[in-house]
Amino acid sequence: MKYLSFAAVLLLLAGVASAADIDGKWAGSLPGMDGNNMTIEFIFKTEGTSLSGFHIMNGQQTAFKDGKIEGNNITFTVTLDLGGQATKIPHKGVLSADQIKMTYEMMGQPGEFILKKAK
């Protein structure tokens, strides 16, 4: 029983350590409609299991909502104004040592991209 409790504490600490590694600015790229890649950036800040921050694309900075971090998994929702219509875009990500693999869904279409920690 003592070993089981010790293992549980280690797993909890590993999750907290991983969560702390996400804080800061991350960048990646998305294919644009014109065939050129667009730079996408996120600024993440954790507080316990809460994740807050900003989505930055085309010079526009938007705070995201409903951010959560559980171990190496993150979720949040970005709401963009697309032609006067508020469009919610749910994001999911998996944090590894040097990148975050992100997936999202926009207007029923799935997408994915990789973020790297900005220097």
Q: What was the pLDDT predicted at 2?
A: 53
Domain at 2-117, CATH homologous superfamily = Quinohemoprotein amine dehydrogenase alpha subunit, domain 2 (2.40.128.120)
Task: Give dist(CA 77, CA 91) in Å, integer.
Answer: 6
Pairing verdict, β 65-70 and 60-63: unpaired
Greatest mean pLDDT among 15-24, 31-40, 79-88: 79-88
| Mean pLDDT along residues 6-22 | 48
Q: What was the pLDDT predicted at 1?
A: 52
Exposure string for 26-61, b = 16+ CB within 10 A, e = fewer: bebeeeeeeeeeeebbbbbebeeeebebbbbeeeee
Query: For residue 13, what pLDDT band results from cuts at 50, 70 and 90?
Result: very low
Query: For residue 58, what pLDDT band results from cuts at 50, 70 and 90?
Result: confident
